[in-house]
């Protein structure tokens, strides 16, 4: 049996978290198929960091470095991965559903003449056939489609960030680092990266956040949106908003959740003063846990919530903040016990 | 500059039916519109044409009714359009779709730039643009959010990436995929609509394309949709109501306990 591969994602000289999440999916697949789990690193990553890939589940890491890489477009990555895949013939190849993974993988799949499933949130091995079952949300999150690539190899998928937690670190795990010599045929200078402008409006960050606290029209005015921001801060999360809140200028478009905004899959989504229109729900269907706070007990969002709090947000949120801020200083248990007496 | 814009016709959202047998979309019966994100691709192409001169062709692969979206593209200002339609194209995944589009683009000849939307609102993969680049051996620039410079031989843009904006320069011919930030699409004009009355839209089938039949449609698709489910949205809900007997502080208490049990606090 050929191996399961993941493409580690580099940011400068570090690996992004999603690289370890891919290993968590990869590990279960490799274990069911009884094969090795390998990761490919393309970039200038220090050895200590590469070994972290073993700590989080990899058996083997292929490393490709070259001084031009930092300035290269996606073509070079596609060339490298085509070369490596043709040589080693992985059974499964997973990438992250990030701007780079979603650019490199579709081109790679065509070069390898195989299929690619986009944006998966669930992966497993089909019992009898040993095929990869790839599940993904489509049509604005309204359906979940399960897709197979029965006759082509590798079976390829991009996987959404935060669709799984990385495995617990096991520093006793060891693996093999394979340094791949540079092949001049990989060079491609048609696209040159000229620089990056950092954006502080935390673009994209709600898509990667573990906790998203979102506010809607129920907040009534811009100043009140502070409550949402403070609560997000206290919980260590990011701020989301409905389109109505964004249209009113209470929060920027990068924070909009839903059909015409972002699709998020946090561990916790908290919707406050949000009715739960279908277009908003399209963005939160893959959230693990939904908490809703709404004055109207018929609000749609309450019906899909794991925890539904019916009441006035202007009474509930300040109380919640007070308790959480206390908890920042004191042990949480203490606050809970204190509050329940 | 010769620019081609592939556009997709999609069902108006909330109106999608799936065939449980084949896992493909049933298109009949639901109103089809131009994929909303493709309007940004069309607008980008038209602005480049207005700025440095050239020609824009809209291209779609889809059933006969899809010619409607091509008319809209012409009404916006595209010079002409080509409709790829053949039963053999049916059931295509992104690999087969991009192959079919690539065959047509090769036939159009001397294409400098291809502009696509970020993703389609139904299939929602965003894979067709980069896949096209691979079939055609063209360079790709994805998630373009701002056009900085367009020359006859190069294009310089800012891409929207996780960390912010990345500036890249690409040699043409290239495939450009654009995000909403890039431009505000224009509305079709009356004059444009009049032009569509006389517009002849050629329909190309598999034979016209000289395509390899084994790479088309369902047969040419490595992926298979095997199951479609509507995500279960009925959860095991804990409902807590604030009232005179049950004040907000008690409700918050329950919420904190719930979050703590789920390991969601700190
Ligand atoms: C094509 C299209 C695309 C769209 N895309 C999106 C999208 O991407 N994202 C999106 O969010 N929307 C989108 N919408 C809009 C969507 O249909 C809804 O209009 C919107 O989500 C409603 O926002 P809301 O929940 O903030 O406001 P409302 O629906 O007005 O809900 C406000 C809620 O606050 C509650 N409330 C009021 N006061 C209090 C209080 N004191 N305490 C507690 N609760 C209170 C009310 O009971 C109510 O449930 C789209 C619409 C269309 C047509
Ligand atoms: C529920 C569901 C899930 C699916 N999942 C996958 C999957 O994971 N992998 C896969 O390979 N296929 C998948 N498909 C099939 C895929 O939707 C079709 O191949 C479709 O023809 C193109 O993909 P897309 O809708 O994702 O377009 P995208 O790749 O999202 O579209 C990007 C751009 O490409 C252009 N474009 C796309 N289609 C056309 C067209 N027909 N004519 C002209 N221009 C076009 C447009 O400019 C568009 O903005 C799925 C289909 C369904 C119904």
Q: What is the DSSP string of A308-340?
A: EEES-HHHHHHHHHHHHHHHHHS-HHHHHHHHH
Q: How high does pLDDT run on average in chain B?
A: 92
A287 Cβ contact list (under 8 Å, min separation 6): A212, A264, A265, A266, A267, A268, A269
Residue A336 pLDDT greater than 60, yes or no: no
d(CA A161, CA B110): 39
Binning pLDDT at 50, 70 and 90, where does residue B27 land?
Answer: low
Nearest CA in chain A to B120: A139
Q: Which residue has the tokens 């409006």?
A: A201
A186 Cβ contact list (under 8 Å, min separation 6): A66, A76, A79, A80, A83
Q: Which of A319, A329, A331, A341 to mutate to test the interface with B (most CBs of B within 10 A)?
A: A319
Is the Cα torsion angle B237, B238, B243, B249 positive or negative in sign? negative
Residue A334 pLDDT greater than 70, yes or no: no
Comparing CB atoms, the residue among B127, B168, B227 nearest residue A194 is: B168
pLDDT value at residue B181: 85
Would you call B236 and A146 a contact, using CB atoms and an 8 Å cutoff? no
d(CA B46, CA B50): 6
Mean pLDDT of B212-223: 97
* Closest to A246 in 3D by CA, of A271, A276, A216: A216
Mean pLDDT of A325-338: 58
Nearest CA in chain A to B97: A110
DSSP string, B23-80: --EE-TTSPEEE-TTHHHHHHHHHHHHHHH--EEEEEEES-GGGHHHHHHHHHHT-SE
Which of chain B's residues have a Cβ under 8 Å away from the Cβ of A287?
none
- Which residue minimizes the CA distance to atom 29 of ligand 1? A275
Ligand 1 center from residue A280 Cα (angstroms): 7
Residue B22 pLDDT greater than 80, yes or no: no
Q: What is the pTM of this model?
A: 0.82
pLDDT value at residue A317: 96
d(CA B145, CA B124): 19
Domains, chain A = 2-186 (3.40.50.620), 211-338 (3.40.50.1220)
CB atoms within 10 A of CB B65: 12
Q: Are strands A14-15 and A122-125 parallel, antiparallel or unpaired?
A: unpaired
Whether A125 contacts A131, CB under 8 Å = yes
Nearest CA in chain A to B127: A106
Nearest CA in chain B to A312: B242
| Ligand 2 pocket residue status of B93, Cβ below 6 Å | yes
Q: Which residue has the tokens 């277009």?
A: A279
Mean pLDDT of A158-179: 92
A21 Cβ contact list (under 8 Å, min separation 6): A96, A159, A161, A162, A163, A164, A165, A166
Residue B18 pLDDT greater than 90, yes or no: no
* ipTM here: 0.84
pLDDT value at residue B20: 59
Q: Which of B178, B248, B257, B258 to mutate to test the interface with A (most CBs of A within 10 A)?
A: B248
pLDDT value at residue B206: 97
Higher pLDDT, B236 or A302: A302
CB atoms within 10 A of CB A84: 22
C-alpha pair distances (Å), B100 with each of A114, A204, A243, B23, B126: 15, 33, 37, 21, 16
Binning pLDDT at 50, 70 and 90, where does residue A338 land?
Answer: very low
pLDDT value at residue B26: 63
* Cα end-to-end span (Å), chain A: 60
- Which residue minimizes the CA distance to atom 32 of ligand 2? B119
Would you call B142 and A143 a contact, using CB atoms and an 8 Å cutoff? no
Q: Are strands B2-6 and B113-116 parallel, antiparallel or unpaired?
A: parallel
Kindly report the CA angle at A181 between A180 and A185, in degrees rounded to 5? 115
Mean pLDDT of B50-60: 97
Q: For ligand 1, pick from A224, A240, A258 the residue to mutate: most ligand atoms within 8 Å of CB.
A: A258
Mean pLDDT of B95-116: 98
Instruction: At A323, give phi and psi (nearest 5°).
Output: -70, -40
Residue B29 near chain A (CB below 8 Å):
no
Mean pLDDT of B193-204: 92
* Cα end-to-end span (Å), chain B: 56
DSSP string, A45-108: --HHHHHHHHHTT-SEEEEE--TTGGGB-HHHHHHHHHHHHHHH--SEEEEESSTTHHHHHHHH
**Tens digit of each residue's pLDDT (9 = 90 or more) over A210-223:** 999 999 999 999 99
Binning pLDDT at 50, 70 and 90, where does residue A329 land?
Answer: low
Residue B139 pLDDT greater than 80, yes or no: yes
Binning pLDDT at 50, 70 and 90, where does residue B141 land?
Answer: very high
d(CA B142, CA B130): 8
Q: Are strands A155-159 and A116-120 parallel, antiparallel or unpaired?
A: parallel
Would you call B142 and A99 a contact, using CB atoms and an 8 Å cutoff? yes
Q: How high does pLDDT run on average in chain A?
A: 91
**Residue B265 CA from chain centroid, whole number:** 39
Binning pLDDT at 50, 70 and 90, where does residue A199 land?
Answer: low
**Tens digit of each residue's pLDDT (9 = 90 or more) over A246-281:** 999 999 888 999 877 888 889 999 999 999 998 898
Binding positions of A? 242-243, 256-260, 273-280, 294
Which of chain A's residues have a Cβ under 8 Å away from the Cβ of B221?
115
Higher pLDDT, A263 or A290: A290
Residue A152 pLDDT greater than 60, yes or no: yes
Would you call B160 and A203 a contact, using CB atoms and an 8 Å cutoff? yes
Which of chain B's residues have a Cβ under 8 Å away from the Cβ of A336?
253, 256-257, 260
CB atoms within 10 A of CB A244: 18
Binning pLDDT at 50, 70 and 90, where does residue A331 land?
Answer: low
Give the percent of chain A with pLDDT over 70. 93
Binning pLDDT at 50, 70 and 90, where does residue A307 land?
Answer: very high
pLDDT value at residue B24: 65
Residue A285 pLDDT greater than 90, yes or no: no
**Tens digit of each residue's pLDDT (9 = 90 or more) over A74-116:** 999 999 999 999 999 999 999 999 999 999 999 999 999 999 9
Mean pLDDT of B65-89: 96
pLDDT value at residue A339: 45
d(CA A288, CA A309): 18
């Amino acid at each position: 049996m050929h191996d399961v591969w993941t493409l580690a994602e580099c940011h400068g000289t570090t690996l992004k978290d999603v690289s370890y999440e891919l290993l968590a999916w990869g590990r279960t697949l490799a274990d069911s198929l009884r094969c090795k789990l390998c990761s490919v690193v393309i970039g200038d990553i220090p050895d200590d960091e590469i070994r972290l890939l073993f700590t989080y589940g990899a058996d083997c890491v292929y490393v490709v470095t070259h001084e031009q890489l930092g300035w290269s477009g996606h073509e070079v990555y596609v060339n490298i991965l085509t070369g490596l895949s043709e040589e080693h013939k992985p059974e499964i190849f997973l990438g992250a559903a990030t701007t780079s993974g979603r650019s490199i993988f579709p081109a790679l799949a065509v070069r390898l003449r195989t299929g690619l499933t986009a944006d998966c949130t669930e992966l497993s091995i089909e019992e009898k056939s040993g095929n990869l079952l790839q599940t993904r949300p489509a049509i604005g999150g309204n359906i979940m489609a399960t897709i197979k690539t029965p006759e082509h190899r590798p079976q390829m998928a991009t996987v959404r960030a935060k669709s799984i937690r990385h495995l617990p670190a096991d520093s006793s795990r060891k693996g093999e680092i394979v340094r791949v010599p540079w092949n001049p045929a990989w060079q491609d200078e048609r696209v040159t990266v000229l620089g990056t402008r950092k954006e502080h409006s935390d673009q994209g960050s709600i898509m990667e956040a573990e906790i998203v606290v979102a506010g809607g029209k129920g907040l009534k005015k811009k100043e009140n949106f502070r409550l949402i921001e403070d609560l997000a801060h206290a919980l260590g999360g990011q701020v989301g908003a409905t389109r109505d809140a964004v249209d009113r200028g209470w929060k920027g478009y990068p924070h909009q959740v839903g059909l015409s905004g972002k699709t998020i899959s946090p561990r916790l989504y908290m919707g406050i003063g949000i009715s739960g229109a279908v277009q908003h729900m399209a963005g939160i269907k893959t959230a693990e846990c939904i908490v809703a706070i709404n004055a109207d007990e018929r609000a749609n969002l309450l019906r899909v919530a794991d925890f539904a709090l019916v009441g006035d947000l202007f009474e509930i949120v300040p109380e919640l903040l007070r308790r959480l801020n206390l908890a920042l200083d004191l042990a949480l248990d203490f606050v809970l016990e204190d509050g329940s007496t | 500059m010769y620019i081609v814009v592939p556009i997709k016709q999609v069902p108006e959202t909330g109106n999608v039916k799936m065939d449980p047998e084949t896992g493909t979309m049933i298109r009949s019966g639901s109103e089809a519109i131009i994929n909303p994100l493709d309007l940004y691709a069309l607008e980008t192409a038209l602005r480049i044409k207005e700025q440095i001169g050239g020609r824009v062709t809209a291209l779609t692969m889809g059933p006969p009714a899809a010619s409607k979206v091509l008319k809209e593209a012409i009404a916006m200002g595209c010079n002409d359009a080509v409709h790829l339609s053949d039963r053999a194209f049916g059931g295509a995944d992104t690999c087969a779709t991009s192959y079919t589009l690539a065959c047509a683009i090769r036939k159009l000849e001397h294409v400098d730039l291809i502009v696509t939307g970020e993703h389609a609102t139904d299939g929602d993969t965003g894979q067709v643009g980069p896949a096209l680049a691979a079939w055609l051996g063209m360079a790709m620039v994805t998630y373009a959010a701002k056009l900085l410079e367009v020359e006859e031989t190069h294009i310089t843009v800012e891409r929207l990436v996780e960390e912010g904006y990345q500036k890249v320069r690409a040699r043409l011919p290239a495939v450009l995929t654009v995000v909403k930030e890039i431009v505000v699409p224009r509305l079709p004009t009356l004059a444009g609509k009049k032009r569509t009355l006389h517009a002849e839209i050629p329909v190309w089938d598999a034979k016209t394309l000289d395509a390899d039949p084994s790479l088309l449609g369902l047969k040419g698709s490595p992926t298979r949709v095997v199951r479609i489910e509507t995500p279960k949205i009925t959860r095991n809900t804990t409902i807590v109501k604030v009232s005179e007997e049950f004040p907000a502080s008690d409700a918050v208490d329950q919420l904190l306990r719930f979050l703590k049990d789920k390991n969601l606090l700190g």
